[in-house]
Amino acid sequence: MSSRANSPPDDLDNVYAAMTQSSPVRPSAANTGDKRPRTPADDDQSDTEETPATITVSGSATNQNFKRLRGEQKAEVADWLNDPPTLREAKAFVQAFHLENLITKIIVSQPPWAVSSDLETNIYSYGASILLSTKLSAYKGSVPKQILYVCDISFPAPAAQLVPGNFEEASVRPSSGIEHNPANWRKVTRGVEEALTQLRAKFKKAIGGSLKEKTKDKTFFPNADRKDIYQLTQDIAQGTQCEVNILLCACVAFMHKSYIKDSTVGFWNTVDADLVKIRAKAGGDPKKVAKAFRHILQADRKEHGVDDYEIEDAVDTFQQDVDKIVEAGIAAQPGPAEGEGDDDE
């Protein structure tokens, strides 16, 4: 019972008075349509006397659910409503165990969780965009993998499903709660590692093929006979969501430049080392890094192939959102040490 608005906060007289009052008598059944109030004569009746089988299922939602039951289920409900409270509890307890057994049987019969083909496709698609981002701070090691874990790779990859922000606090995962199951999460991480390794191998092979006549031949084509950067970027972007534009070409030109210097098994270590030097020289300024990449692209266009083509300057929305994730959480991190990372050879 609440106190009046003008009563002092510590005035408990009304509360004490309410404790000595008798409980109010409910209105008669004639006025309310409910059962009649209990009379002193009723107290003389046995508590074990059987109650008439009267079933009232109130509430629209409950009533609708009751109507959907099968005939034998409705009969069981009628019996349950007429059971003593202890018997009702026993029946409910038994039914809970029965449901638990059924659920356990369903879970046990399910096949082991596996990375689906759709998830593999999305991992590959996002992985390509990450490795072709000019915002990336390292192409090997944990950096590209951690970025992939931030992306929502559970679904097809429109840009809106990317969540920029601190990757350590990201709640978006390849499958809800899957990271809490070590065995299943390892399947995801293995899929990520394999996709990134395949992409790096593809990029390196395409770059080498654009410069050399044979895979094992270390002699480059004459400059005019080499593929230009636009053609090379098209080859690298094939089979991904990446669209050829000036930033994508600049990223490939950067790899191109490192390959000419080192085409051995240490190629990606050289790429990362060159990237660290550029970022250090730029002092972490993204505008200076962008200028460096554009300069590398301009030099590449003069050195490889015939410079008779135009490159789209606009960057597609999907790549822009991937770049935001890379820049937000990863770009400031240093690259891996020499020799660190995945083996792509």
Percentage of the chain lying above the pLDDT 70 cut: 66
**Rounded CA separation 279/168 (Å):** 23
Cβ atoms < 10 Å from Cβ of 201: 13
What pLDDT does 75 receive?
86
49: pLDDT strictly greater than 80: no
**Rounded CA separation 285/331 (Å):** 11
239-250 pLDDT tens trace: 888 999 999 999
Q: Answer whether 144's CB lies under 8 Å from 189's CB.
A: no
Backbone Cα Rg of the chain: 36
Cβ atoms < 10 Å from Cβ of 254: 20
At 177, the pLDDT band (50, 70, 90 cuts) reads low
**Rounded CA separation 221/226 (Å):** 6
> Which of the pair, 233 or 64, is modelled with greater confidence?
233
What pLDDT does 160 receive?
34
55-87 pLDDT tens trace: 555 555 566 677 778 888 888 888 888 889 898
Mean pLDDT of the chain: 76
Q: Which of 59-68, 138-147, 231-240 has the lowest mean pLDDT?
A: 59-68
Q: Answer whether 128's CB lies under 8 Å from 240's CB.
A: yes
Task: Look up tokens 């822009």; give the residue.
Answer: 320
Q: Answer whether 1's CB lies under 8 Å from 14's CB.
A: yes
**Rounded CA separation 122/198 (Å):** 14
Long-range CB contacts for residues 332-335, cutoff 8 Å, separation at least 24: 332/137, 332/284, 333/137, 333/138, 333/143, 334/137, 334/138, 334/276, 335/137, 335/138, 335/141, 335/143, 335/272, 335/273, 335/275, 335/276
Average pLDDT in the 278-304 region? 92
Q: How far is CA 148 from the centre of its chain?
A: 10
Q: What six digits make up the tokens of 206?
A: 């395409």
At 172, the pLDDT band (50, 70, 90 cuts) reads very low
271: pLDDT strictly greater than 50: yes
> Which of the pair, 225 or 199, is modelled with greater confidence?
199
Give 220's strand partners.
212
252: pLDDT strictly greater than 70: yes
Burial readout 222-240 (b: 16 or more C-beta within 10 A, e: otherwise): eeeebbbbbbbbbbbbeeb
Q: What six digits make up the tokens of 232?
A: 């090379």
190: pLDDT strictly greater than 50: yes
* Residue 255 identity (one-letter amino acid): M
3-43 pLDDT tens trace: 444 545 554 444 344 444 555 555 554 455 555 555 555 55
Burial readout 53-85 (b: 16 or more C-beta within 10 A, e: otherwise): eeeeeeeeeeeeeeeeeeeeeeeeeeeeeeeee
Average pLDDT in the 280-305 region? 91
99: pLDDT strictly greater than 60: yes
Among the ranges 129-143, 162-176, 208-222, which has the highest mean pLDDT value?
A: 129-143
Query: Torsions phi, psi of 196, nearest 5?
Result: -65, -40
